[in-house]
Chain A
Amino acid sequence: MKKYTNRGIDIEIDELTNSIKNVFSGDSFPTDITLITKSDINSITKKNDWLFDWKLELKYPERDVFKLTIVNNQSIIQGLISLEIKSDHVFMHLIESALFNKGKTKIYSGVPGNLVAFACKLSFQRGHEGNVAFISKTQLISHYEQSLGAVHFGNRLMIIDTNAALNLINKYFTNTI
């Protein structure tokens, strides 16, 4: 029997910046979020230091995997997100930053926040009023409440509702909504 004790998105939203920011230089870079391509699939493997099995996500036809890249630099993936459009919300299955954006030695900050904001935007576009749900690890619930404005409503279920979604979108997609 499969154990689900490790369920829950375990990311820490480090900074809600307007784009992703080079931690060393302080320079900000505008980002693109697009569906992953066939050529990406071979590079997003555990062998290439991705924690999740992203190929597995692609086996679920109802899920879409998007990549975050810096504008004009689509070949270097900064982070990935797996989303599913449900009947009344968008469900965020997974988010992962690239290895070089993890931990204290990360190069760019703002990757996960940027991806979450994208999920909110997609939710509006699909008529779901910005609602984005996800499962959080228990110890990160209050962190998501503070950093994303997410609401915890039982077990580890959390939701980013319309107002919180708008706040996030305004941070990241100022010129596009």
Chain B
Amino acid sequence: MTVKDAGRAARPAGRAPAKRSPAGDPGQQADSPELIQLLTPEGERVEHPDYPLEISAEELKSLYRDLVIVRRIDFEAIALQRQGELGIWASLLGQEAAQVGSGRALTPRDMAFPTYREHGVAWCRGLDPMKLLELFRGVSHGGWDPTEHNFHLYTIVIGSQTLHATGYAMGIQRDGAVGEDGEAVIVYFGDGATSQGDVNEAFIWASVNNSPVVFFCQNNQWAISEPLERQSRVPLYQRAHGFGFPGVRVDGNDVLACLAVTRKAMQAAREGQGPTMIEAFTYRMGAHTTTDDPTRYRLSAELEAWKLKDPIERVKQYLIRSQQAEMSFFDEVEAEATRVGARVRAACLEMPDPEPLSMFDDVLTEETRQLAAERAGFAAYLDSFVGEEVAR
């Protein structure tokens, strides 16, 4: 399924959604002067006085490669779900630039707190995509060590991770790790999450403590079926001002703008200037998850309009027009993406189920006697069935 097919994935069932979201209309706020952009949808390079960006051809091609591979993994995962290999998948289709741009702005020592859709950030951090598939296949709840790639586990409760990130940033302060070479935290959340109490509490804590945390909001215009106007009367980036720290809106489909804005905000945090909110103005091209049916609540015309702002297409156009890449480069990237997709597929199909007794592992740092007894009892129970071998 390519981007062009995304809109054909589901035909409207003949029922118009209740209302059309003005916030989702790319024609409106996207033109407002506050939307930071460095690469137009047509692939033209533009400058912004606050965000000078020097970027080499190699870096550009590398970003392009990231975008394509991230989209390919996402596509493969949707297909796997449609084939019954994953229970569910939350697609990032359309949000690749926001995630890759911000993800590549981080230094290795920065810490990232995702929600459950940041597969592109996971890619940038070097986390094995199979760990994500494990979660959606039901093999684990994530199960990776956050310190290995400085990428926290996926948090499914909406907005909770903003507090974790803020607390982590408070820890950085107490470690004295704030400074030019310091560390900072980025936390991801969506437009819907900005309504959650925890997110607002995080804004309070980060601001009164002046903590080194960047709040990266991917405003993809929809929280399942609810459009932005159900979440806020004001543009989201302006919320930060109410809490006393800067907020900025960036074109979430512009990988260069996301890169530049995030770099600057992270550096400010590192140096002790406190939090920033970045609102990446983007669009959720797919469904909320594979169990969602967007045709029930939004018009395909909206989708069609956003297709014209595809994050990957504009980078390709720019690379071609500026002659920073040969056509063979695009073929190579495509081939590599196909290989990656096939590997993801193969690894998913081979993924074994966890052993039943592993259910009892890692509840506490020291197993209680009660749990040990339950574990033993369950092992004996499993063993009592004809033909069943007790797992080790």
Q: Do A and B belong to a common assembly?
A: no
